[in-house]
Amino acid sequence: MRNNFFNTLFEGFKKNKNIYVLTGDIGYSVLEKFNEFDKNRFINVGISEQNMIGVAAGLAHEDKIVYVYSIGNFPSLRCLEQIRYDVCYHNKNVKIVSVGSGFAYGQLGASHHATEDMAIMRTIPNIIICNPSDSVEARKICHISQEISLPMYIRLNKSNEPIIHKTELENLKIGDIISANNENYDYAIFTTGQISENIYREIIKENRKISLYIFPFLSQINKDKFSKIINSHKKIMTIEESQLNGGFGSFILELISDCRETNKVYKDFKFKRIGINNKFTSKCGSQEYLRKLNISIDFNWFD
């Protein structure tokens, strides 16, 4: 996912002299080509992520398209004040690219477990939240990010993830919802991010009649399409690799509430959230290991 995103960005970097890439002293084997092509538009600010956001905001003030890159919580939670005031308050064209969503860097402990970032970032005005599930979505989101002049938070998993989508998502727009298995059963799962592939695989493995909907964006959701999906199912489960407190499931509940107020959602249905309980994990290990410890998915709820 990460490599596909930056390979796509590099094609834009070569064509558009307004694109700048900043890193917090990471990205070796991934970002060297940017420096080799134009060292004036690639800046390694060192391990000083808060300063990196300030530099990015200054460049964006001069009409540059700026991508900042670091691991998990470091370009997001560590820089929250700078993101809020320097970037989002002034609506600057800065794209914050965070690699290692959820437990992707699980071996490095709680400091590298990016499990609250999505919930916290989505509370800030003016920023578009993107959480692709595979490299196909990541590639398209990279193209979109170069075309719009808005702050964005792009949450990548890591690398070598399986692909869900067999074709390119040429028509994907901000706020779109993807039907992953093109089925309309009574039961549905809503999900976001790389864990979507695990769920997709389990649905096939268990031969479950469950519709799977992927949300690459947690911003500007098409409420007409959303409410149509809600009204066509009897049971809906959300699954996420993030904290339940304020996370993806909470985001879906907020949307449902908004749509009920305008009578777009009129049907009664059962709803369940699956994610990381509101606690830190002291364990270290692979992403798959930590998912099994912290995210309990029970398909029997649909029976």
Where along the chain do its domains lie? 2-156, 178-302
Q: What is the CATH number of domain 178-302?
A: 3.40.50.920
Mean pLDDT for the stretch of residues 77-104: 97
pLDDT at 181: 93
Instruction: Report the distance separating Cα 165 and Cα 270, nearest Å.
Output: 29
- Is there a common fold for 2-156 and 178-302? yes
Identity of the amino acid at 299: F
Q: Is a pLDDT exceeding 90 seen at residue 46? A: yes
pLDDT at 183: 83
Instruction: Report the distance separating Cα 39 and Cα 240, nearest Å.
Output: 38
Longest dimension (CA), the chain: 59
Q: How many residues does the chain have?
A: 303
pLDDT at 157: 93
pLDDT tens-digit map of 115-152: 999 999 999 999 999 999 999 999 999 999 999 999 99
In order of 140, 150, 223, the CA distances from 288 in angstroms are 26, 34, 33
Q: Is a pLDDT exceeding 90 seen at residue 160? A: no
Q: How many CB atoms lie within 10 A of CB 229?
A: 18
Sheet strand arrangement including 42-44: 42-44, 19-23, 65-71, 94-99, 152-156, 128-130
Residue with tokens 């002299």: 17
CATH architecture of 2-156: 3-Layer(aba) Sandwich (3.40)
In order of 87, 100, 216, 218, 291, the CA distances from 120 in angstroms are 15, 16, 17, 12, 21
For 185-235, give the secondary structure using H, E and C.
Answer: CCEEEEECCCHHHHHHHHHHHCCCCEEEEECCECCCCCHHHHHHHHHCCCE
Q: Indicate yes or no: pTM above 0.85.
A: yes
Q: Is a pLDDT exceeding 90 seen at residue 36? A: yes
